[in-house]
Chain A
Amino acid sequence: MELLIIPFVFALVALVVPKNVVRVTALIGGLISLVMGFVYIAGYTPAADFIALLPNCSESCSKPFFLNFGYDGIGLVMVVLTSVIIFLIFLSNYDNERFASDKRFNALIFFMQFALIGVFLSLDGLLFYIFWELSLIPVFLLFLWYGEKDKRVTLMKFFIYTFIGSLAMLFSLLYIRNLAPSFSIEDLIAVQMSSQTALWVFGGFMIAFAVKIPLFPLHAWQPDTYTKSPMAGTMLLGALMLKMALFGMIRWMISIAPEALSSMTNLIVVLGLIGVIYAAILAIKQNDMKKIFAYASVSHVGLIAAGIIVLNLDALTGAMVQIVNHALVAVGLFLAADIIERRLQTRNLPDLGGIAKQAPMFGFWFAVIIFATISIPFTSGFIGEFFLIKGVFGYNPVYGGIIGTTVILACVYSFRAYQASMFGPSKNFNFPDLSWAEWTAFFIISILILFLGVYPQALIEIVTPSLQKLIEIVNIK
């Protein structure tokens, strides 16, 4: 339970401590959560069943019926990932004068961590929904209070999309609740449906997830929202929030309504495929660095969604690795964009150039992140994409070949973003190299990326039993 409580407590603490210690408090809080997460990982023996966090006492004690928290390998990985990313966000904001000492800002991020961990630990449909919605609030407020100027239309778009999505998911949840004795995940999974009914339930979930991932053509809110959010908001959105949806697909949608898979798989794979190519092509000619990375994100997660839905063990494993990798890479990329913007007040590619010469450390770490983006072996990006593409290829070789072109297109836009900003002769500006906090953030990201790129088995071992169980559930139904 402390996984959930620590961030909540720190959200309150951040509001009351004196202004000059806020940034240290944030780092400490982030670190405690992080250590806590790894303690759990260290004590975890991979198994398929859920480990409940609260005593299971539906009759004898007074715990409200729906407070059903617990985890398996997948949930645990997501929780630890959240803590790593939140810590990295604190670290990357440490030198940002505007945010580091802002109480409200730091409290919101802790609150976000609380909501996200809640999503990943919920074993009750209603609880899941509540945390799902709660997680919107901090992102929303970050955007509102700290976002760029002309944000009203963007915010409106963001709101409409997520609102409709959430509503659809709520209907699905309520509908299936009527067929099951309770909201607990075991009961929901046990429900037998006709494929017609399953289609509706599945569809409701899918709309919510497709918006959040986002899946083509429901992605229109994403590039603008990413671009106009403050950096921390973009990181939360890109690294973690969309992972809620991918996680939701694995944990909730597929295991509750697998009856609909036969008619939905092809559609989702095709949408994922279109999104992968479409977003990659759009990314090629953007000049706003953040926008390039936003489209890159659409492109990458389209592949993850397609890999999840084809539902074989290799692809699901690849999806888990890529979920972790994409979160790390997203933080790295948006941190790089932010470092440039904070130093030069612009992230417009034609105005940049020659930064690597002035800031070689930055040039080096940024390059590592770029290599993970384009899935070079020795980085976790490769392991993830290799098995995702293999999964799609196994489902349909033609789709696999088409979706595979992402490894080429990703090079085009990633290298363009990197080279136009970092290479070429030095331009007429002064670019200080990384501060220790920024350096540490890049260092942690890179070490994790390289470790998982060479020894992904460390992660795979944790999630395999749960993934096998999922496949079993689908096969039985």
Chain B
Amino acid sequence: MSVEQLLPLLLLLPLIGALINGTVGKKLPKIASGGLATALVAISFFIALSIFLNLKDAVEVKLFSIISLPDLTLDAKLLADNLSMWMTLIITGVGALIHLFSMGYMHDDEGYSKFFTYLNLFIFSMLVLVLGSNYFLLYFGWEGVGVCSYLLIGYYYSDEQKGVLNSLAGRKSFIMNRVGDLALMLAMFLLLLQFGTLDYKDLATAITSESYKFDGSLLMFGITLFLFIGATGKSAQIPLFTWLPDAMAGPTPVSALIHAATMVTAGVFLTVRSNFMFELAPTSQNIVLYVGLATSLVAAFIAMRQNDIKKVLAYSTVSQLGLMFVGLGLGAYTAAIFHVTTHAFFKALLFLGSGSVIHGMSGEQDIRKMGGLKKYMPTTHWTFLVGTLAITGFPLLSGFFSKDEISGFAFQHGIPLYLILMFSIVLTAIYMFRMYFLTFHGEFRGSEEQKHHLHESPLNMTLPLMVLAGLSIIGGLINLPGIFLKNQAHYLDHLFEKNVAGMNLIHTEHLSSGTIMVLMVVASLVCIVALVVTYNIYVKKKSLPKDESELTGWEKWSANKLYVDELYNAIIVNPILKLSDWGYRTVELVIVDGLILKMAKGVDSAGALVKKWQSGQVNWYVLWMVSGIVGLIIYFLVKI
């Protein structure tokens, strides 16, 4: 089959899965329901792989016109280029593994088929997002994944204790995302008004051919700023980042798939897609850079004193996303996508690993009640260790290379930026090792009952862990720096040189081999020192997290998430609620409604005839109306 046929097929398979599971899934045996969902995503992956390997030039496949007006056409058109296919591989590849894991993890859930319906629907939406050939279609996928995310965060909505809280977390995530979505919409309006199209290729042609006209213009600044605000929503950057930690209320495979590996990187993808505009808006690029940097720091700081295993991972995701945006702000688009890729491997691994831990611990998520788990869960333990080492940038693992590339760009930009970035990377190493040691080393601190139930997870859960662990180890190969290989280096860079819209997608580092070497040694040392120090604290000295009431100073701020939620409540949420109350009691009831009530009373006291109207004989009104109409008709009939 040709690409023109394969591409829609690859997109539709997950949708078909969702339709089948959504309608008859409940009647199917669990193995069939989950198996079907998993298999379809896996098939999509292999189709994507075959397209990717045979892709010479970008291919566009028009399905139909969503809207076609004389001056405006918006098509449902798919675009396969190296960027969109690369993202498709991540989404379907990691997605299939997480589907497989879910078959074990969700086995006892009563909404089993519903869960897979949502997961498949999510994959479909995410594919629409990356495969669409224009911003309009991207927005379909963009909101589609938002809806799936909303449904899955609030998945346990009927839980006796936490049901209401879970659904509120879903609502919070959706509303915060909506703020970003509005900005994205405004960006689209600007594009439409200015260029009359939302098609990436047309826009790239129109803008790059006259780039002198747009360089540094207010228009480009406005468009890219709105695009970036949209990205901050989906990708949990300051100021719209507080929803992601709350999103951990969803089932853990969801956290791995949606809130770590794929959906949250949509903002990065959006920025890379729009590279030809960001390149013309230096101010926006700086905003991207510093927002990313600040987010990376703030999230890493908060993660230092979190004790919920999933919350630590959530803040680390926010922090890693910040890192990617630092790359984007520096124009290092490939480096950002590189980190998206390796992050998808090791963060999915870590989340699934934490899922395996939670599964083994009978639902416990507090690392203070864990400890010594490596004895009981060997596979989970070694794969989790690989994930931890990868994210902390342990030499030669995947995270090492992708982080190193971004910090290399930072170094090139200036030493202060590099140092701040390294500080955030140090914090990451510390809190990740802290979590790892507290969970898997030392004595078991949970209840006797939990200890009794402790068990390694079944193979369909550990198999994805092993595959992801393998990828986390070797994932760095896809964009090795030039000092390691002569010919095959910078694979990803070369990939995106071809057939991706934009002008300067490729900014290779201009650092000398010597500098690169030094930076790598520094990064390695930082990671190893953090490892040794945390080992000393949490394994040798067996120190445990303090009780929340004992925390002081920075620890208190970290444990309380810098009070950002409290701040937002005080300056945004509560004022709106008060306004709603005040508006209803004062404006609505007294002014708007009061006026007409006075009029009604005026009519009431306007003489005997009118009093007759008011005597409850409402039928009279109707009579009046009808006779008025009839009178009019007669009047005009007679007059003519």
Contact = CB atoms under 8 A, between A and B. Distances in A.
Contacts of B415: none
Contacts of A436: none
Interface size class of A (residues with CB under 8 A): 35 or more
A400 interface: yes
B580 A425 contact: no
A140 interface: yes
A468 B69 CA distance: 10
Contacts of B626: 137
B157 A376 contact: no
B605 interface: no
B570 interface: no
B143 A376 contact: yes
A96 interface: no
Given A408-B182, A460-B67, A424 B157 contact: yes
Contact of A400 (B163, B189, B599): B189
A354 interface: yes
Interface stretch (A33-41, A216-224, A441-449): A216-224
B178 A156 contact: no
B576 A419 contact: no
Contacts of B168: 419
A439 interface: no
Given A221-B596, A383-B67, A377 B174 contact: no
A32 interface: no
B167 A130 contact: no
A228 interface: no
Given A405-B182, A419-B167, A424-B157, A140 B583 contact: no
B160 interface: yes
A171 interface: no
A426 B158 contact: yes
Interface string A425-465: 11000000000000000000000000000111100100010
B547 interface: no
A133 B633 CA distance: 12
Contacts of A285: 577, 580-581, 584
Contact of B67 (A66, A141, A457): A457
B621 A159 contact: yes
Interface string B140-163: 101110110000001001111001
A390 B189 contact: yes
Contacts of A134: 629
A286 B580 CA distance: 9
A455 B577 CA distance: 38
B600 A464 contact: no
B458 interface: no
Contacts of A152: 616, 618
B552 interface: no
B596 A160 contact: yes
B245 to A, nearest CB: 20
B179 interface: yes
Nearest to B162: A425
A201 to B, nearest CB: 18
A456 B599 contact: no
Contacts of B593: 157, 220
Interface stretch (A18-26, A76-84, A276-284): A276-284
Contacts of A159: 621
B175 interface: yes
Contact of B182 (A153, A404, A426): A404
A411 B168 CA distance: 12
B185 A354 contact: no
Majority secondary structure of chain A interface residues (helix, strand, loop or mixed): helix
A425 B139 contact: no
A129 to B, nearest CB: 8
A64 interface: yes
B186 A404 contact: yes
Interface in B62-92: 64-72, 76
A293 interface: no
Contact of B66 (A141, A353, A356, A457): A457
Majority secondary structure of chain B interface residues (helix, strand, loop or mixed): helix
Residue among A284, A377, A389, A394 with the highest chain B CB neighbour number at 10 A? A377
Interface string B468-501: 0000000000000000000000000000000000
Contacts of A383: 66-67
A161 interface: yes
Contacts of B587: 278
A437 B178 CA distance: 35
B178 A313 contact: no
B70 A313 contact: yes
A371 interface: yes
B53 interface: no
A157 B599 CA distance: 9
A130 B67 contact: no
B592 interface: yes
B160 A217 contact: no
A284 B158 contact: no
B167 A424 contact: yes
Given A134-B629, A160-B600, A376-B147, A141 B581 contact: no
Nearest to B175: A411
A160 B175 CA distance: 39
A175 interface: no
Nearest to A221: B596
B622 interface: yes
A408 B175 contact: yes
Nearest to B591: A217
A372 to B, nearest CB: 12
A412 interface: yes
A155 interface: yes
Interface string B563-607: 000000000000011011101100110001101110110010000
B163 A424 contact: yes
A359 to B, nearest CB: 12
Given A133-B625, A285-B581, A423-B163, A408 B158 contact: no
B615 to A, nearest CB: 11
For the complex of A and B, list the 10 residue pairs with the smallest distance between their C-beta atoms, beginning with the closest.
A423-B157, A377-B140, A423-B167, A285-B580, A357-B158, A220-B593, A284-B580, A393-B189, A424-B164, A220-B592
Given A140-B625, A144-B618, 14 more contacts: A156-B600, A160-B599, A160-B600, A284-B576, A286-B584, A314-B71, A357-B158, A386-B185, A408-B178, A411-B174, A416-B171, A454-B76, A456-B67, A460-B68
20 contacts: A137-B622, A137-B626, A157-B600, A160-B596, A160-B599, A220-B592, A220-B596, A281-B579, A313-B71, A314-B72, A378-B140, A382-B143, A386-B185, A393-B189, A419-B154, A419-B171, A423-B158, A457-B67, A464-B69, A468-B70
Interface of B: 64-72, 76, 139-140, 142-144, 146-147, 154, 157-160, 163-164, 167-168, 171, 174-175, 178-179, 181-182, 185-186, 189, 192-193, 576-577, 579-581, 583-584, 587-588, 592-593, 595-597, 599-600, 603, 614, 616, 618-619, 621-622, 625-626, 628-629, 632-633, 636-637, 640
Interface of A: 64-66, 126, 129-130, 133-134, 136-137, 140-141, 144, 152-153, 155-157, 159-161, 170, 217, 219-221, 278, 281-286, 313-314, 317, 353-354, 356-357, 371, 376-378, 382-383, 386, 389-390, 393-394, 400-401, 404-405, 407-408, 411-412, 415-416, 419, 423-426, 454-457, 460, 464, 468
